[in-house]
Chain A
Amino acid sequence: MPGSTPLQSQHRSKMAALSSPLRVCRGILKELRAIQGPSYKKSLAYNYIMDQFRKNKVTGEKYCRAKQEAHHASHTYLCLLASTRNHLVLHNLYHGKGERSPEEVAGLVGLRLPTQPGGKGWEK
């Protein structure tokens, strides 16, 4: 990527390891394995990704536009998978669990809600 500013280069040094297609491919496969478990090689995504990487590997030109586009797209997809996973991890770790239902609340102090045989007036 052209023009490395100081802040970007700090972050890029974290990302520099990802800029080669091989690393991006490995990253995507790792994410797919995290999603799908040991049978990830049979998934649709795996076959498609491997196809795309193989197709774009062989090119005679130094600057091949389709290759650049594919590389950017693969990097974007890796970012999508990794950040969704991280977001979900943080969500499960920190996000509130919501309110308890009235039955649970009553159960906390050892009580039970009364049952009304005819149903309550506003229930359908």
Chain B
Amino acid sequence: MLRCIVRLQSQVGNAFSLSKVCPRNQYYECVARYSAATAERKRFYQDVSISQSEGGLYEINLDQRKLKTPGGKLFTVPNEALAIAVATEWDAQRDTLKFYTMHLTTLCNTALDNPTQRSKEQMITAALKFLETDTICYRVDEPHGLVELQRNEWDPVLQWIEKRYNVTIGSSASILGPEIPEATKDTLRQHLKSHNFWSLTGLEYVITQLKSIVLSLGMIDRHLSVEQAVLLSRLEEEYQIRRWGNVEWAHDYDMYELRARTAAGALFVHLTSESSTVKHKLLQD
């Protein structure tokens, strides 16, 4: 549909010529595809259970059938806790399947299928890119209340991470953002490398949601809770809400969605990281 409109604007610009610009079958195919995507799947199973296969991996069973990923592979998870959490998500569905509430399932599918064929290095590079424009490091000059708030709430987290990983990350009010030294990036790259592929999938997801490496690492290292991390990520919004009022269908909706996704990502990372001994080598406790 969009393709047709773009061609229309570039060629004719006349709404009545739609049928001339865009062949009929293409137009109706676009419509059919869109309505197929919005058609909801009904819940087709009664019971959800988990079972263990020979490799020690856990599978999810819907009635008697094994769950598969969208890519067609068998859905397997490495530990029982994650399997139970995914099973609970499937069990929570009522008449229709609402995939946008099943965050852990989505994360597992991404880790299993890897639809965009990314390697660990690509994911680490993408995650580190967030550091240059990290939420915590980008400060404003005005209004004064927000400047104060940013200083009081974000500075302690910056101090914590600088101490914990022995790095330097400044904060800056300029449009270019802070200058991050290469040593910092290398230290954090080493730390990110210590995660396995599944754990890194979850961690990159959290970083993308919170738009901040500092907050994500703070939450994964259990310095911040999920609610605190989300609050700090949405600090400017919270400031505006206090000033101008809360709009439930926008602010609360976004906040709960962000909390759900971040909590799912954090839980995914914790359940898929093998042990915490590897992290110990890089800490300066």
Interface residues of A (CB under 8 A from B): 1-3, 5-8, 11-12, 15, 32, 35-36, 43-45, 48, 68-69, 72-73, 75-77, 79-80, 83-84, 86-88, 90-91, 93-94, 98, 101, 121-122
Query: Which of B28, B91, B149, B253 lies in contact with A122, CB distance below 8 A?
Result: B28
- Additional A-B contact list (9), CB under 8 Å, known A44-B88, A79-B227: A11-B228, A45-B85, A69-B270, A69-B276, A84-B103, A86-B252, A94-B248, A101-B35, A122-B25
Please give me the residue from chain B that is nearest to A4 by CB atom.
Answer: B156
CB pair A122–B29 under 8 Å, yes or no, is yes
CB pair B270–A76 under 8 Å, yes or no, is yes
CB pair A48–B84 under 8 Å, yes or no, is yes
The contact string, 1 if C-beta is below 8 Å from chain A, for chain B 232-255, is: 000100100000000011001100
Query: Which of B38, B152, B259, B264 lies in contact with A5, CB distance below 8 A?
Result: B152
A83 to B152 alpha-carbon distance, docked (Å): 27
Check B98 for interface membership: any CB of A closer than 8 A. Answer: yes
A54 to B272 alpha-carbon distance, docked (Å): 22
A to B CB contacts below 8 Å, 6 in the list = A3-B160, A7-B231, A8-B228, A44-B84, A48-B80, A72-B222
CB pair A80–B49 under 8 Å, yes or no, is no
CB pair B156–A90 under 8 Å, yes or no, is no
CB pair B84–A77 under 8 Å, yes or no, is no
Interface residues of B (CB under 8 A from A): 24-25, 28-29, 35, 38, 49-50, 80-81, 84-85, 87-88, 91-92, 98, 101, 103-104, 149, 152-153, 156, 160, 222-228, 231, 235, 238, 248-249, 252-253, 256-257, 259-260, 263-264, 266-267, 270, 276
Please give me the residue from chain B that is nearest to A65 by CB atom.
Answer: B276
Please give me the residue from chain A that is nearest to B266 by CB atom.
Answer: A76
- A7, A43, A84, A93 interface centre (most CB from chain B within 10 Å): A84
Residues in chain A near residue B264, CB distance under 8 A = 80
Residues in chain A near residue B260, CB distance under 8 A = 80, 83-84, 87
CB pair A79–B84 under 8 Å, yes or no, is no
A78 to B238 alpha-carbon distance, docked (Å): 22
Residues in chain B near residue A80, CB distance under 8 A = 103-104, 226, 260, 263-264, 267
